[in-house]
Amino acid sequence: MTDAAFVFDATEQTFDTEVMQASLSTPVLVDFWATWCAPCKALGPILEKVVASYTGKLKLAKVDTDKEMQLAGAFGIRSLPTVVLVKDGQMVDGFMGALPEADVRAFVEKHLGKSAAADAIEAKADSATALETPQQTIARLREEIAANADKPELQLDLALALVRAGDADAAQAQLDALPPNLASDAKAKRASAQLDLSRALTGAPDPAALRARLQHDAADHTARDLLGVHLLLGDEPAQGLDEFLILLRTARDWNEGRAKKRLIAAFNLLDDDEIVGTYRRKMSSLLF
């Protein structure tokens, strides 16, 4: 199947069959656009590139709003471009405006996970850096940045390398210097969350000591919070999230809503969509 096979024009007559029903097996991005819309022209190739990287696991339906005014009206389109993700016969999310490629990928990955192409690129990068020490990776990236000023994504890679090396101050400075489109990237959010959580453990007691404190006083919110961070950053992330949920249930407003902030940071940090989805629902049930 060619890349063009993943992209098609949708009309009022074909929308139900080619988008809504088709989304029961393959998610569909719907791009509401117009020929006179400059941001639409900028976003279109980005959408096609992202969709192509999913090699048939995602499709793109293009809706020309000048020709399909009733269809645009049915979706309440007020601004162009507007992009809607249809999955399992339902509209699950959307965004307005021309986003950079990194943000479009983050939007899609939130619902579908990473594309095969993205996984392959990351796997290749991981294998290339597996034999490097953290300091070698940092040195290499700094050299690449100096030679490729037109590739700001290397700055994000450097920030992540600094996080892995444990150089919190340098990593934070690098994250703060990222351009806006990269600062909102999922990787940047993950690095920022890991930095914040790691800082919380500076000078903190070990998990055994924190558990002993909780056995003595179950209302020791500080001990429960720090134990949750230890578990989250260690090998028991679900147990860490459980500690934050207990804190949210019993002391929602403690330390300016610390439990909620910890959970949100954890969701940005974790790669496991199943765990994140489960605990998002648990958090929502306690908050609303």
Is 37 among the residues known to form the active site?
yes
Which of the residues 10, 28, 30, 40 is marked catalytic? Answer: 40
Q: Using CA atoms, how far apart are residues 128 and 135, in angstroms rounded to an integer? A: 14
Which of the residues 29, 37, 141, 182 is marked catalytic? Answer: 37
- Quote the tokens at residue 87: 């999955």
Is 251 among the residues known to form the active site?
no
State the catalytic residues: 37, 40
